[in-house]
Amino acid sequence: MQQSKYFYAKIYGDKALITSPESKSGGEKYSYDCPTREMLKGILDANYFKPTIINVVDEVRIMNRIESYTQGTRLLLKNNKLDLSAYTYLTDVKYYVKFHFEFNLDREDLKADRNFAKHEAITDRSLKRGGRRPIFLGVSECMGYIEALTEEAYETDPGYYDDSNRGFGLMFNGFIYPNEPGELLYSAYAPINMVKGRIAYPRPENCPIINEVSNYTFKKPQLTKSVDEELKDYE
């Protein structure tokens, strides 16, 4: 499959709440120790996305020490009653991300918009401007930031876990989205391991555990601007 060149980005923020699925059903929310592939993909989509392309996370470096804290949170329940819950956040997070994009071959109607050079130019310029849309580290209360990074900085900047290996166990990795309305949505899980501070995520379709979630209702997004028009906005 053809793909774009590799891009490098720094993603960081004061705190993150990458909610584990098992803690979503109750009032207490607990964060994974490392980002999920799906969260990083969502951040890259906020930087630049069109239905013509699919952003793919190749690797992430965990740059800062993994630390967390628990904070009491007041929740509004039914009948305007209040309850106290505990949310566990990661603190002072910084990730270096290597990624590329591929064309969405399921959208033959967008074939005329497949221009690697112009989509690459827009991705680069979006990174340099801090992204096109707000960045959230897991949830909307955890604002994040994205910046362009050079390949040299990605490879040589010192990270806290450069000499460490760590297993994070079985984690949610990403969704497998349907191509047509009415088809099923699937969630994919895989054991995630960090080797010398780096995590290479499997693609969701290659994960050992894939669960059926539900019928996923959606409308196919329409192309509002061609890549030529988008590029002109940056010029």
pLDDT digits (tens, 9 = 90+) for 131-182: 999 999 998 889 999 999 999 999 999 999 999 999 999 999 999 988 877 7
Question: Quick one: pLDDT at residue 232?
Answer: 82
* Number of domains composing the chain: 1
Task: Let me know: does 63 contact 79? Beta carbons within 8 Å.
Answer: no
Q: CA-to-CA distance for 200 and 70, rounded, in angstroms?
A: 29
182 in any annotated domain: no
Average pLDDT value over all residues in the chain? 89
Q: Is residue 79 very low, low, confident or very high in pLDDT (cuts 50, 70, 90)?
A: confident
Closest to 16 measured CA to CA, from 7, 29, 26: 29
Report the C-alpha gap between 210 and 172 in whole angstroms: 10
Give the domain extent around 55.
Answer: 7-168
Q: Is residue 220 part of a domain?
A: no
Question: Can you give the pLDDT at residue 1?
Answer: 59
Question: How far, in Å, CA of 20 to CA of 57, rounded?
Answer: 20
Asked if residue 119 belongs to a domain, the reply is yes
Q: Is the pLDDT of residue 51 over 70?
A: yes
In a domain, 148, yes or no: yes
pLDDT at 26: 63
- Residue 177 falls inside a structural domain: no
CATH of the domain at 149: 3.30.70.2660
Tell me, yes or no, whether 231 lies in a domain.
Answer: no
Residue 180, pLDDT score: 77
For residue 189, is it within any domain? no
Residue 156 lies in a domain: yes
pTM of the predicted model as reported, rounded to 2 decimal places: 0.89
- pLDDT tens digits, residue range 57-78? 999 999 999 999 988 776 666 6
Contact 186, 176 (CB under 8 A): yes
